[in-house]
Structure 1
Amino acid sequence: MSHVSPRLLVAQTGFLGDVVLTTPLLTTLHRHLSPSSLTVLTTPQAKPLLDCHPVVNQVLVDAKHTEGQGVLGLWRMAQRLRRERFTLAVAPHKSFRTALLLLLAGIPRRIGFRQSPGWFLYHQTASRDSYRHEVERILCIMRAFGLEPEDCDRQPLVAYGHEAKNKADALLREARLDGTEPLFVVCPGSVWATKRWTVDGFAELIQKLTRDYGRVLLCGGPDDAPVAQMVHERSGQCGINLVGRADLPTFMALVDRAQLVISNDSAPMHVAVARNVPVVAIFCATTPSLGYGPYSERAIIVEKKDLFCRPCDRHGSPTCPRGTDDCMRQVSVADVLAGVKTLLANTRTKPMPVPFFVPE
């Protein structure tokens, strides 16, 4: 690698959780390469996760599922990247489309994974270790620069600015929360139905958290609204339903106020880890052995371990293949509360969240 500081592009257009788990790579690349600029290419949904990241100079959006889809959309995106005159591209995202896009963009040095369907379009490839956590699997790409995952920065980090902090403050004032009561963030949603714990389970959990521990903020994106509304109603409206009202940066700011986060195996779990907030993660159809568990020592995983059918798919399934929903139904409220109690006992004082950053 030349000592000349590269104009670096990192391409990660996966799910929200994938983007959070890529942030240690960003920190490592910044430290190891000292790029003249570091740009991330990601999805419109994930852009807010990176807008205030301290090592990211620019976030570009690839709307690959809408106006950017198809051959014409790919070509337009490639021309947009070409105008940036990047000298180095690193692609932790393994898709063939990503490899082809970087080739069409004319970036003179491109690095990707050997396991990518487009491996032959890269100048250099690195091998991913399938047995590792996804954070470390992504960091395997640093082998192209002579580093092993153990040599890298491995703490996920997402950040937000003053506007998000002010929005979070406004939502809490509206809910008549003055900061004196302990807060718990509960996230009942997931893109995949079999990764969602039951509505009744979340409802009972919220009732008991409210009775015994503090106030509950029900959080999630607009797509989570139907499930969240059912949870809210069945809990007797014990919690404060903010689902669909807090964008990603505002959600980060709310997470910073919380004693801990309780989430399915989904993006909020990873955001909590990236904000250094304890998390109780409920795994239903998926398992931590797939490599996507909370990458934190301040996390507890609750799951039904003795079901032979788990995991039924890498992402879970739209419906239970066996028609029983056992992996969801057999996770008890008592087990989740035990995780809450353990984390609270091990965290005598609320941890200081990592700082938030404001872009210049």
Structure 2
Amino acid sequence: MPREIPGEGRGARVFTRTVNKTVTARALARSTARYVVRLVFYVVVGVLGFLSRARRPARLIHSAPPRRILVVRLDLLGDITFSMPAVAALRCAYPNAGITMLTLPYSAPLASMYRCVDEIIPLDTNAIRTVSGLVSPGTWLAYWKVFRELKAENYDLAVSMSGQMASLWSRLSGASTTIGFAGEAYPFILTNPVPGRRYEERKSEVDYGLQLAAAAGASKAGVRESPHVPDALVERMRDALRQAEIGDEDEIVAIHPGAGHGSAKRWPAANWAAFADRLQTSTNTRVVLVGGAFDRPIAQQILAAAKTRIVSLVGDTTIGELCGLLQRANLVASSDSGPLHIAAALNRPVLGVYGPTDPAVYGPMSGHMASTVLRRDLPCSPCYTAAASAECPLGDPICMRLVPPKQMVDAALRLLAEPLKIVKESAEA
């Protein structure tokens, strides 16, 4: 957006144009530099992959069951939940194998709650996305330690669930067999690439993960597994709610108003406030806001706009405590976000409001509990791709604004009345 420079007259206008051109030129230079760095890295990794492949031909899937399996998913909370049916399928296929998951430090606490995973190794691949992280010796020392830890495990199988970086670390693990989608991996880096890439077909992220598990010798059917939330965390959140004058028998609707990968996925704060007000004035339901510290700005906007008392625990919980709170909720309402998918994985009734993302791909995967997704069907929606954050290319995410609070309230009341309905709804607003 152009910078406005105070002042009047031709001199001020010339100065403004000069500043804007300078800012634009610097942004273009930074973007070009990042592209060049990525291109060089892509070529270098591809060449090294080709040379190592020439000395080490692709292996067939094991005739003997693998003893050590590495699953690499370097993504956010919702992506972890999407990957777990594939991990559970690997556990069923190879019950005696040790399964390790390599994931981001932020997502590691959630991954550790799944019993199909034996060990979690955190790896901050985002550290090298900044100049300071890229040149920091501490970053490379941390990577070296993870590299040594992986090599010491002697993995028989590594599965790259998504992206080039995951494919690279799958190979760096030293696993004798590495599997992932060929279209998402660095060239020649996987021993057994699966043709294609995600999103070539309109199917769920879970199904793409199960496709990789099947390539590794596991059944596509998989087994549903929920995070195991320790009783101590659930009780801790019950105490927090009691302090907010919410009893153990009170009906709770948890709202997560944020979105961790793009502002276009957020429903307007005024809509969330109206939704909470209507619920609390028409029923005995109590509304609780949840989320991380980065969700505080929108939470403050909701609290300021609301006419009823809303309890906010935004920024006051760990990932584990968030899971305990979601498990306590009678309904979880959110846009397409990590907490929505965690709640679905915990078998809680969920209500999603979608715009730029496609529910057929990123919709909540509930178990025996009901789920509803509301969205406005517009020619420009869905527009989200995993290659970038969800920002509206038109500058105004009208697809989110056009879902009215009343329709959300009506859907919430149905879910609260029939939480065990097996058939999931997908309502077009």
Cα deviation, residue 317, structure 1: 5.7
Change (3 A) 1:56 1:338: same
1:101 aligns with 2:169: yes
- Which amino acid in 1 is paired with 2:188? F
Match of 1:62 in 2: 123
Q: Which residue of 2 aligns with 1:174?
A: 243
Question: 2:91 corresponds to which residue?
Answer: 30
- 8 Å CA contact 1:188–1:196 kept in 2: the answer is yes
Matching residue of 2:381: 310
| Alignment-derived partner of residue 395 in structure 2 | 323
Match of 2:415, SS state, is: helix
CA separation of 1:304 and 1:74: change in aligned 2, threshold 3 A: same
Structure 1 equivalent of residue 3 of structure 2: none
Q: Which of 322, 326, 345 does residue 417 from structure 2 map onto?
A: 345
Structure 1 segments of 4+ aligned residues over 6 angstroms from their partners: none
**Higher RCO (C-alpha under 8 Å, 6+ residues apart):** 1
Larger Rg, first or second structure (1 or 2): 2
CA contact (8 A) 1:272 1:278 kept: yes
SS, match of residue 173 in structure 1: helix
In structure 2, how many angstroms separate the alpha carbons of the residues matched to 1:5 and 1:121? 20
- Counterpart Cα distance in 1 of 2:158 and 2:390: 35
Q: 2: CA distance between counterparts of 1:311 and 1:212?
A: 33
Q: Deviations over 1:285-314 (max 9, x none)?
A: 22324x001123611111111x21112332
CA displacement, residues 149-185 of structure 1 (integer Å, 9 cap, x when unaligned): 3x322x3522222332232122112112221211110
Equivalent AA in structure 2 for residue 6 of structure 1:
R
Q: Take 1:169 and 1:136, find their aligned partners in 2: how far apart are those partners? A: 35
Alignment of 1:45-194 (within 5 A): 45-66=106-127, 72=140, 74-93=143-162, 95-118=163-186, 120-127=188-195, 130-147=201-218, 149=220, 151-153=221-223, 155=224, 157-191=226-260, 192-194=262-264
Greater helix proportion: 2
Same amino acid, percent of matched pairs: 27
Quote the residue 1:277 is aligned against: 348
* Residue 20 of structure 2: aligned partner: none
Q: What amino acid is aligned across from residue 332 of structure 1 in structure 2?
A: P
> Which stretch has the larger CA shift, 21-30 or 155-164?
155-164
Q: Is the 8 A contact 2:244 2:311 kept in 1?
A: yes
- Structure 2: distance between partners of 1:107 and 1:176: 53
CA distance in 2, matches of 1:14, 1:132: 19
With the length of structure 2 as denominator, give the TM-score of the two structures: 0.75
Please state whether the residue corresponding to 1:165 is helix, strand or coil: helix
* TM-score, length-scaled by structure 1: 0.88
**Take 2:280 and 2:115, find their aligned partners in 1: how far apart are those partners?**
36
| In 1, Cα distance between equivalents of 2:159 and 2:392 | 37
User: Can you give the 5+ residue segments of structure 1 that lack an aligned partner in the other structure?
Assistant: 350-360
Q: Secondary structure at the match of 2:126?
A: coil
Pick from 190, 196, 209 the counterpart of residue 266 of structure 2.
Answer: 196
Unaligned 5+ residue runs, structure 2? 1-61, 422-429
Matching residue's letter, 1:246: T
- C-alpha change, 1:166 and 1:181, in structure 2 (3 Å) is closer
Distance change in 2, residues 1:4/1:145 (3 Å): closer
User: In structure 2, what is the Cα distance between the partners aligned to 1:83 and 1:54?
Assistant: 23
Contact 1:24–1:157 (Cα < 8 Å) also in 2: no
1:324 Cα offset (Å): 3.6
Q: Given the superposition, is the C-alpha separation of residues 145 and 117 from structure 1 closer, same or farther in structure 2, using an over 3 Å criterion?
A: closer
1:32 CA drift (Å) = 0.4
Q: Distance in 2 between matches of 1:26 and 1:136?
A: 12
Name the aligned partner's letter for residue 192 of structure 2.
Q
1:336 matched residue in structure 2: 408
Aligned length: 344
Segment drifting more, 328-337 vs 60-69: 60-69
Distance 1:215 1:275, change over 3 A: same
**In the TM superposition, what is the alpha-carbon distance from 1:207 to its structure 2 partner?**
0.8
Tell me if 1:39 matches 2:100: yes
Alpha carbons of structure 1 residues 174 and 208: separation in structure 2 relative to 1, 3 Å: same
Deviation for aligned residue 1:75: 4.4
User: How big is the shift at 1:236?
Assistant: 3.4
Separation in structure 2 between the aligned mates of residue 204 and residue 6 of structure 1, nearest angstrom: 54
